[in-house]
C-alpha cells in the first residue's frame, strides 16, 4: 500500500489556530458564566451582605446599644426591611416592637407566617436564612404602597415599579432569636429583595452578543497580525538557512523580532563564517596534499624510468631515492589516516606507565643523519627521568611531529631545543626553534583543522604537513594542556603538559 506523507503545517498557520482557539475559549467561558453562574453568584453576594448587616443588628440588640441607629443605618444603606417581635409565652406576640420597612423589598407577613418562621428558627438552633417568593397579590400591594406612601423621586418610583414588573419577586429572609442582657427574647426578621435578573440577563446577553462579534473580528485581525509577526523572522531565518545549505556563504542572517531569533541568527552567522573558512582551508589542504602526493610519485616514476632506460643508472643511490620518496608517500598517507581516526574518535588512547625522558631521547636519535649531513643543532635539556601514564606510541607521535615542525621552520642557525621541565607534579615538554615565528593574529588558528600559516606550499624537510592537527587530536584525547608562544621574526615554542607518576634521578 502506498503511504502518503503528511503535509506539515507552517508555524504561522499553527499560531493563527492557537490564537483563534484561545479567543473562542474566552467567549465560551463568558457565555457559560452569564448563562449558569450569574444568578447563583448574585444570590450568594446578597446573602453575604444581609448576613453582615444582621450580625451588626444582632449585636446592638443583645447589648442594647444604639439599636435604632444601627437598624436605620443598616436598613437604609442596604435597602432592607427589618422587623422586631417581642417573644412572650414561647411565641412572638402580634405587635411589633419596631420596624423599618422598604416598600420595594417588604415581605407581607401574616401572623401565621411569623409563627411558622419562629418555630422553624427554634428548630434550626435560633438562626435561619431562606428565600420567599411574593405572590401576585403581594406585588400589587407593593405597587400601591410605592405610589401612595413611599416618598421618593419619580425616577426612583419608576425604577421600583420596573423591578416589580420584571418577574417573580423573591425575598431573602433572615431570622434570629436574640437573648438580651435583661433576659428578654426578641425575634428578628430581616428581608431583602433579590432583584429579578431576567431583564438584566437579557440586556447582558444582547451586550455580550455584540461584544462577541467585535471580539471575534478583533481576534481574527490580531491573530493574523501576531502570527505573521512571530513567524516572519523564523521564516526568513529558514530561507537563509536553505541558502547556506547550498554553500552560499554570502547569505546574511539578520532577521529581527525577539531575542531567541536574534541569538539563533548570531549563531548561524558564526557557523556560516566557520563553514566558509573550513571550506577554503579544505580546498587548500587538498591542493597541498595533491602536491605532496604528486612530488614523490613523480620522482619514483622518473627515477624508475631512468633505471630502466639508461644503462648504469640502476645503482644504490637511485634506489635509495625511490625508497625515500616511497617512505615520504607512506608517511603522508599514514598521517591522513591517523588524523581521520583521531578526530572521529575511532582511535582510543591505550595508557600505561612509561619514561617520557627516554621516549624523547629515542626520538631524537632519528635525527642523527640530519644533524650530521645538514648541520642541524638539536639538543635535549633534562635533569630527571620522568614517568607518566599515557599512550606511549601517541605521545611519541606528538613529540616527533613537534620536532619535525621545528626542523621545518628552523632559522638560519638550524637550532632546535627540546626542554623538559618539572613543576607541581606535572611535566612540560617544550620544543623551540629560531625561525620566522607566527604572527599574533594567526596564533589562535594554528591548531585548527586544515589551517596552514604559510599559504605558499613548500615541501618540508621531514613530515607531511599535518603534524599540528595530529598533535592537537592526541593531546585532546589525553585531556592534556598545550599551547604555543611565538614572536614574529624570532621563533616559536610549542609545549604540552602531562601528569607525573614518578621521578627518578638522571642516569649517568
Nearby residues of 422 by Cβ (< 8 Å), 6 or more positions away:
384, 386, 428, 500, 503
What is the pLDDT, as a whole number, of residue 274?
82
Whether residue 480 contacts residue 498, with contact meaning beta carbons closer than 8 Å, is answered with: yes
Predicted confidence band of residue 159 (pLDDT cuts 50, 70, 90): very low
Predicted confidence band at 485 (pLDDT cuts at 50, 70, 90)?
very high
What is the dihedral sign for C-alpha 331, 332, 337, 343? positive
Phi, psi of 34 (to 5 degrees): -65, -35
Residue 302 contacts residue 432 (beta carbons within 8 Å) = no
Residue 151's pLDDT is: 46
Q: What pLDDT is recorded for position 390?
A: 92
Q: What is the pLDDT of residue 152?
A: 46
Do 422 and 503 form a contact (C-beta atoms < 8 A)?
A: yes
pLDDT of residue 461: 45
Average pLDDT score over the chain: 77
The pLDDT of residue 348: 72
pLDDT in tens, 148-157: 444 444 444 4
Query: Please, what is the angle between helix 316-344 and helix 259-309, to 10°?
Result: 160
pLDDT exceeds 90 at position 477:
no
pLDDT tens profile 300-311: 888 888 888 888
| Whole-number pLDDT of residue 453 | 59
Point out the least confidently predicted range of 217-231, 259-273, 332-346, 378-392. 332-346
Average pLDDT (473-494) is: 90
pLDDT of residue 93: 61
Q: Secondary structure of 195-215 in the HEC alphabet?
A: CCCHHHHHHHHHHHHHHHHHH
- At residue 496, the pLDDT reads 95
Is the pLDDT assigned to residue 460 strictly greater than 70?
A: no
Please say if the pLDDT value at position 104 is more than 60: no
**Percentage of residues of the chain with pLDDT beyond 90:** 11
- Is the separation of the CB atoms in 503 and 387 below 8 Å? yes
The three three-digit cell numbers of residue 50, written as one number:
444581609
Q: What share of the chain is helix, strand, coil (3-state, %, to 5)?
A: 55, 20, 25
DSSP run (H or E) holding 352: strand 352-355
pLDDT on residue 137: 46
Maximum Cα–Cα distance across the chain: 154
Q: C-alpha 186: how far from its chain's center?
A: 68
**Range name among 6-15, 426-435, 463-472 with the lowest pLDDT average:** 6-15
pLDDT in tens, 265-300: 888 888 888 888 777 777 776 776 776 677 778 888
Q: With beta carbons less than 8 A apart as the criterion, state whether 387 and 500 touch.
A: yes
| pLDDT more than 70, % of the chain | 78
Other C-beta atoms closer than 10 Å to the C-beta of 73 total 14
Q: Is the pLDDT of residue 478 over 80?
A: yes
CB contact set of 461 (below 8 Å; sequence gap of 6+): 370, 374, 407, 408
Which tens digits make up the pLDDT trace of 310-361? 887 888 888 888 887 888 788 777 777 777 777 666 667 788 999 999 999 9
Of the candidates 60, 190, 167, the one whose C-alpha atom is nearest the C-alpha of residue 121 is 190
Is the pLDDT score of 96 beyond 90? no
User: What letter would DSSP give residue 383?
Assistant: S
Check residue 250 and give its pLDDT. 83
Output the pLDDT for position 421: 93
Residue 457 has pLDDT above 80, yes or no: no
Q: Mean pLDDT across the stretch 167-194?
A: 78
Interval 235-269: pLDDT, tens: 888 888 888 888 888 888 887 777 887 888 888 88
Overall average pLDDT of the 57-85 stretch: 81
Residue 142, pLDDT score: 44
pLDDT-derived band at 432 (thresholds 50, 70, 90) equals: very high
Q: What would the mean pLDDT of 476-486 be, rounded to a whole number? A: 91
Mean pLDDT computed over 21-45: 80
CA distance 262 to 304: 62
Number of other CB atoms surrounding residue 472 within 10 Å: 20
Amino acid at each position: 500500500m502506498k503511504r502518503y506523507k503528511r503535509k506539515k503545517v507552517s508555524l504561522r498557520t499553527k499560531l493563527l489556530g492557537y490564537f483563534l482557539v484561545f479567543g473562542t475559549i474566552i467567549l465560551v467561558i463568558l457565555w457559560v458564566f452569564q448563562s449558569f453562574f450569574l444568578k447563583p453568584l448574585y444570590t450568594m453576594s446578597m446573602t453575604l451582605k444581609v448576613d453582615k448587616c444582621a450580625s451588626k443588628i444582632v449585636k446592638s440588640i443583645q447589648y442594647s446599644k444604639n439599636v435604632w441607629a444601627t437598624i436605620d443605618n443598616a436598613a437604609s444603606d442596604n435597602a432592607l426591611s427589618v422587623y422586631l417581635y417581642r417573644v412572650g409565652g414561647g411565641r412572638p406576640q402580634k405587635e411589633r416592637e419596631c420596624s423599618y420597612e422598604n416598600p420595594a423589598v417588604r415581605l407581607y407577613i401574616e401572623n401565621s407566617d411569623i409563627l411558622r418562621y419562629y418555630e422553624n428558627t427554634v428548630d434550626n438552633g435560633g438562626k435561619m436564612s431562606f428565600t420567599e417568593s411574593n405572590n401576585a397579590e403581594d406585588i400589587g400591594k407593593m405597587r400601591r404602597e410605592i405610589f401612595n406612601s413611599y416618598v421618593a423621586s419619580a425616577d426612583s418610583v419608576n425604577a421600583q415599579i420596573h423591578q416589580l414588573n420584571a418577574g417573580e419577586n423573591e425575598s431573602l429572609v433572615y431570622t434570629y432569636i436574640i437573648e438580651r442582657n435583661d433576659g428578654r427574647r426578641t425575634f428578628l426578621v430581616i428581608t431583602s429583595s433579590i432583584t429579578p435578573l431576567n431583564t438584566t440577563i437579557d440586556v447582558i446577553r444582547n451586550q455580550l452578543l455584540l461584544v462577541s462579534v467585535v471580539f471575534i473580528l478583533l481576534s481574527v485581525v490580531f491573530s493574523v497580525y501576531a502570527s505573521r509577526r512571530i513567524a516572519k523572522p523564523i521564516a526568513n531565518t529558514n530561507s537563509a538557512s536553505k541558502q547556506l545549505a547550498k554553500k552560499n556563504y554570502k547569505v546574511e542572517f539578520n532577521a529581527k523580532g525577539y531575542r531567541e531569533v536574534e541569538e539563533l541568527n548570531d549563531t548561524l552567522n558564526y557557523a556560516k563564517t566557520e563553514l566558509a573558512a573550513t571550506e577554503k582551508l579544505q580546498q587548500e589542504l587538498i591542493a597541498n596534499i595533491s602536491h605532496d602526493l604528486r612530488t614523490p610519485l613523480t620522482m619514483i616514476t622518473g627515477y624508475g624510468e631512468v633505471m630502466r632506460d639508461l644503462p648504469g643508472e640502476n645503482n644504490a643511490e637511485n634506489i635509495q631515492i625511490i625508497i625515500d620518496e616511497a617512505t615520504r608517500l607512506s608517511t603522508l598517507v599514514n598521517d591522513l589516516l591517523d588524523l581521520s581516526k583521531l578526530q572521529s574518535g575511532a582511535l582510543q588512547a591505550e595508557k600505561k606507565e612509561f619514561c617520557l625522558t627516554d621516549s624523547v631521547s629515542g626520538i631524537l636519535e632519528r635525527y642523527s643523519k640530519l644533524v650530521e649531513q645538514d648541520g642541524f643543532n638539536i639538543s635535549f635539556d633534562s635533569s630527571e627521568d620522568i614517568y607518566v601514564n599515557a599512550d606511549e606510541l601517541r605521545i611519541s607521535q606528538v613529540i616527533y611531529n613537534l620536532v619535525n615542525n621545528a626542523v621545518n621552520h628552523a632559522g638560519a642557525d638550524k637550532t632546535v631545543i627540546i626542554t623538559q621541565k618539572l613543576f607541581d607534579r606535572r611535566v612540560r615538554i617544550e620544543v623551540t626553534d629560531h625561525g620566522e615565528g607566527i604572527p599574533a593574529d594567526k596564533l589562535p588558528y594554528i591548531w585548527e583543522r586544515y589551517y596552514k600559516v604559510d599559504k605558499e606550499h613548500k615541501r618540508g624537510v621531514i613530515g607531511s604537513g599535518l603534524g599540528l592537527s595530529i598533535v592537537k587530536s592526541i593531546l585532546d584525547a589525553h585531556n592534556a594542556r598545550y599551547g604555543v608562544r611565538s614572536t614574529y621574526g624570532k621563533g616559536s615554542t610549542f609545549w604540552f603538559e602531562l601528569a607525573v607518576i614518578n621521578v627518578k634521578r638522571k642516569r649517568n
